[in-house]
């Protein structure tokens, strides 16, 4: 069963986000009370380049299974520590196509917009972690494992333990690309 394992937010531009008992998603804006909340781009490096671009990174999701994979490589990472808002379990986030709808809890729905492109701040958190969240597929292409980004279509509260439903878009499916 697919579940929300943890929810996190930070009102400040911090790398890690503290865990919460509940977060509220607002349609078209993101996680209420989070620094990345807004209709227009809210990531500092992107705001400097394209301040009027739409915010395709309103909600960041990471699969808890990544933390287990990283633990096997000697890294200790807990939910929220690498900046995600929602930590999931039991969903192949990286295998979802663009446009997938994720139903989080009783009401909230987010639309998957693409992959998180990990930045060097990850190495500031734990040396070598950047390399650990990047891999290569059989063809040698870069595989980004640091989660996915989404926009909020329907708002609502989500909590640890909430169910996650997945609705795939009509085909043909588009592979996730960094946003």
- Chain centroid to CA 20: how far? 16
Is-contact 48 39, C-beta < 8 A? no
End-to-end alpha-carbon separation of the chain, Å?
28
Dump the DSSP string for 23-90: EEEETTTEETT-TT-SSB--SHHHHHH-TTSB-S-SEEEEEHHHHHHHHHTT----TTTTS-SEEEES
Supply the pTM of this predicted model. Answer: 0.96
pLDDT over 90 at 151, yes or no: yes
Query: Which position has the token pair 């915010």?
Result: 55
Q: What is the pLDDT of residue 30?
A: 98
What CATH number should be reported for the domain whose range is 3-167? 2.40.33.20
- What is the per-residue pLDDT across 7-43, written as a single tens digit (0 to 9) for each? 999 999 999 999 999 999 999 999 999 999 999 988 7
Q: What is the pLDDT of residue 171?
A: 85
Q: What is the pLDDT of residue 50?
A: 87
HSE of 78 in the Cβ direction (CA atoms, 13 Å)? 5
What SS3 state is found at 10?
A: coil
Dump the DSSP string for 111-167: EEEEE----THHHHHSTTHHHHTEEE-TTS-EEE-S-EEEEEEE-EEE-TT-BEEEE
pLDDT over 80 at 44, yes or no: no
Domain extent listing, the chain: 3-167
- What is the per-residue pLDDT across 102-145, written as a single tens digit (0 to 9) for each? 999 999 999 999 999 888 889 999 999 999 999 898 999 999 99
| Percent of the chain whose predicted confidence (pLDDT) is above 90 | 87
Is-contact 143 136, C-beta < 8 A? yes
């Amino acid at each position: 069963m697919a579940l929300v394992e943890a929810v996190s937010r930070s009102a400040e531009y911090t790398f890690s986000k503290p865990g919460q008992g509940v977060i509220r998603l607002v349609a078209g804006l993101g996680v209420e009370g989070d620094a990345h909340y807004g209709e227009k781009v809210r990531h500092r490096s992107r705001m400097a380049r394209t301040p009027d671009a739409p915010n395709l990174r309103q909600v960041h999701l990471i699969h808890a299974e990544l933390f287990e994979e990283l633990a096997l490589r000697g890294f200790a990472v807990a939910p929220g520590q690498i900046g995600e808002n929602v930590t999931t379990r039991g969903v192949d986030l990286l295998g979802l196509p663009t446009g997938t709808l994720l139903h989080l809890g009783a009401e909230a729905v987010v639309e998957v917009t693409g992959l998180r492109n990990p930045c060097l701040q990850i190495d500031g958190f734990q040396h070598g972690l950047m390399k650990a969240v990047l891999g290569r597929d059989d063809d040698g292409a870069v595989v980004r494992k640091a989660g996915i980004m989404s926009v909020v279509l329907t708002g609502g509260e989500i909590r640890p333990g909430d169910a996650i439903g997945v609705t795939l878009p009509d085909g043909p499916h588009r592979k996730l690309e960094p946003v």
